[in-house]
Amino acid sequence: MQKDWIDILSALMTPTIAVIGSVIAYQQWKINKIQLRHELYDRRMEVYSKLINYLSAIVQDAWFPKDAFSQWFRASYEGFFLFDDRMYEYLESVNEKSRSFRSNCRNMDAKRGKVDDDEEEWKKLCDLNEEFNAWFEKQFDVAKNEFSRFLRLSI
């Protein structure tokens, strides 16, 4: 009788060890996944912060902010490695709009002081500048929604 129990327990030992090993491996995998997410959070938050700083500079001055754009532009390209394709497309759309906005601001600088020569052209540039500023102002909410997929902390 006692020999039967020893044989049964011996037979159960290997599967028990395998199950315990699997549970430990699963927990380590889960911890590593959480740790990676934590490390990515800081880098992703930096990209988001640079975007918010850039948008704030535009909205504050209603003009193209070279320094803030430079910081944002570098951060946006890091985003290629930190986010999925959908998010990177959004980052690129901000960059495309920024290049157009910069071009418009340069055109306005070139026309400044020569408004009397072509008042209609100046008005078009001013209207376009207002459109750009309105678009960038809306990006605070759009960016929050886009980035929330990656920055929302849940346990």
Structure tokens at 139: 């990006």
**pLDDT tens track for 87-103:** 999 999 999 999 999 99
20 occurs within a structural domain: no
Q: Rounded mean pLDDT of the chain? A: 89
The residue with tokens 């911890």 is 31
28 occurs within a structural domain: no
Domain hosting residue 78, numbered range: 42-151
15 occurs within a structural domain: no
Total domains in the fold of the chain:
1
Q: How confident is the model at residue 75 (pLDDT cuts 50, 70, 90)?
A: very high
Number of residues that make up the chain: 155
129 occurs within a structural domain: yes
Closest-CA residue to 132 (of 70, 76, 55): 55
Q: Please check whether residue 108 is in contact with residue 125, taking contact to mean a CB–CB distance below 8 angstroms.
A: yes
Report, as an integer, the average pLDDT of 8-34. 84
37 occurs within a structural domain: no
**Backbone angle region of 131, left / alpha / beta, with phi > 0 → left and psi within -120 to 50 → alpha:** alpha
Does position 5 have pLDDT exceeding 60, yes or no? yes
Check residue 45 and give its pLDDT.
95
Report, as an integer, the average pLDDT of 22-28. 88
